[in-house]
Amino acid sequence: MTTIRCDIVSAEAEIYHGEATLVIATGEQGELGIAPRHAPLITRLKPGHVEVIQENGERESFYVSGGILEVQPQVVTVLADTAARADDLDEAAALAAKEEAEKALADRSDEIEVAEAQARLAEAMAQLQALERMRRNLKH
Amino acid sequence: MASGREIKTKIKSTQNMRKVTRALEMVSASKIRKAQERMRVSRPYARMMRQVIAHVAGATSEFKHPFLVERETVSRVGYIIVSTDRGLCGGLNANLFRKTLAEIRDWQSRGVEVDMVLIGQKAVQFFRRLKSVNLLGSTTHLGEKPRVEQLVGVVTLMLKAFSEGKLDRVKLGYNDFVNTMVQQPRLEALLPLPVAADEIIAEQGERGEGDTVLAVNMKREHDWDYIYEPEPEVVLEFVLNRYIESLVYQAALENLASEHAARMVAMKSASDNANKVIDELTLIYNKARQAAITQEISEIVGGAAAV
């Protein structure tokens, strides 16, 4: 029987790697059964099970909370998300990141004071040095 | 010459410092192993992702996603900078910031504006002082186990800006973990993808391995296309977003391992220096003690002779 290579990975772990006679997954537009020599396909996955049927008839089942399924003539790749993701959640995260930066910018008052003080100190030191030099010249 | 007691307190305080630097060194030495392990387990995902992206970029689709199209004029670039949250790690952050700053100044001298998103406390502290760059977003306190969700916010900000045409280039800056002794500050092109592919080819030549093969593949024309479910627009958007996320996540992991390695080395040399100082001080202390005894004896002898 012909087989197709199947890789299931997530960003934080390698989940499955081996040969399969059939891979079943929940695509965005319905259940998919990928047999060897399937046409190239790429789709988003819905949260659900990915089932791998191995050569000896054994079934392995994994839960994924979403991700990408890609089919190439020789290989099926499942790129699983590590956590539940949704567009509005991403949006919220983006807003949070923006707010954090704004806070950091608003918060720079103390830093500026320090920088200003340092600048004044440097200036004062330069003046002192100049005075010192003048005094030495007068003595001579 | 300082008195015995003074030198003794100095020795004590140096010994205390050495205790701290030793502890930090050992903490980093144990954390670095975990950080490397985390880098290792995340690699398969990154590798598969690159393969999928190389396929996607190679497919002749009627729809061209903006991420795949190189723009002719560049008027605004975005930088994603990954740094550490804590200091005491030698020149790790400073080297990266210097490299970034040089590039920023270069862009600005050509009239190109710069937007940034920052990951890590140190980058925020450094770049918020620059008035000439526009800070889009930041995230800090990733901890020892960075999770993808922590990075989604800043990455989404950049990608949105790019899709809307506000940015023409996006670059990623981080410290590449070569080995425990060497960490390399790197600035890589992320978007658009053809620019990133050119960069890889320029760096490694067409005959390289891994990334290069994919990059060459990306530049070539192919005569097949996927079945997209649902529409190509939706799927490509999703896949490319995940790809960029995975690159930034990988960079965060590399940077974490680099941080611990750099801290370990910095703390080791600090401990060595403390040892040297302690040795010197002990020598001075003993000399002072001996001088005091000699003086006392000669005073007694002198006193006895006078009687």
Q: What is the ipTM of this complex?
A: 0.72
User: Which of B37, B45, B228, B247 to substitute to test the interface with A, most A CBs within 10 Å?
Assistant: B45
Alpha-carbon distance A95 to nearest alpha carbon in chain B (angstroms): 7
Contact A95 B129 (CB under 8 A): no
How far apart CA B238 and CA B280 sit, in angstroms, is 63
How far apart CA B159 and CA B173 sit, in angstroms, is 16
Task: Determine how many CB atoms are found less than 10 A away from the CB of residue B239.
Answer: 23
Q: What is the pLDDT of residue A87?
A: 65
Q: What is the pLDDT of residue B27?
A: 92
Taking the domains of chain B in order of start, what are their residue ranges?
Answer: 32-262
| Contacts of B24 by beta carbon, 8 Å cutoff, 6+ apart | B88, B263, B267
Alpha-carbon distance A57 to nearest alpha carbon in chain B (angstroms): 26
pLDDT tens, residue order, chain B (307 aa): 557 888 899 999 999 999 999 999 999 999 999 999 988 888 888 888 888 888 887 776 677 788 888 888 888 999 999 999 888 888 899 899 989 998 998 999 999 999 999 999 889 888 888 888 888 888 888 888 888 888 888 999 899 899 888 899 999 999 999 988 999 999 988 888 878 877 777 776 655 555 666 666 666 666 677 888 888 888 888 888 888 988 999 999 999 999 999 999 999 999 999 999 999 999 999 999 999 999 999 999 999 988 8
If we measure between CA atoms, which residue out of B23, B73, B98 comes closest to residue B271? B23
- Nearest residue in chain A measured CA to CA from B116: A101
Residues of B in contact with A85 (CB under 8 A): 149, 152
User: Which of B79, B141, B229, B240 to substitute to test the interface with A, most A CBs within 10 Å?
Assistant: B229
Residues of B in contact with A79 (CB under 8 A): 45, 48-49, 52, 242
User: Which of A77, A98, A113 to substitute to test the interface with B, most B CBs within 10 Å?
Assistant: A98
Q: Regarding beta strands B76-82 and B134-139, do their DSSP bridges make them parallel or antiparallel, or are they unpaired?
A: unpaired
- Nearest residue in chain B measured CA to CA from A112: B129
Residues of B in contact with A108 (CB under 8 A): 128-129
Tell me the HSE value of B156 on the side-chain side, using a 13 A CA sphere.
22
How far apart CA B168 and CA B72 sit, in angstroms, is 9
Residues of B in contact with A82 (CB under 8 A): 147-149
DSSP letters of B140-179?
Answer: ----SS--HHHHHHHHHHHHHHHHTTS-SEEEEEEEEE-S
List of chain A residues with pLDDT < 70: 1, 83-89, 108-127, 139-140
Contact A94 B135 (CB under 8 A): no
Q: What is the pLDDT of residue A106?
A: 75
- Could you please state the CATH topology (level 3) that the domain comprising B32-262 is classified under: Pyruvate Kinase; Chain: A, domain 1 (3.40.1380)
Q: What is the pLDDT of residue A118?
A: 62
Nearest to A100 among B48, B139, B225 (CB): B139
Tokens of A124: 């004062």
Contact A95 B227 (CB under 8 A): no
The answer to whether the beta carbons of residues B263 and B24 sit under 8 Å apart is yes
Interface of B with A in 156-195 (CB under 8 A): 156-157, 160
How far are the Cα atoms of A100, B75, B113, B241 from residue B66, in angstroms, in the given order? 28, 16, 20, 12
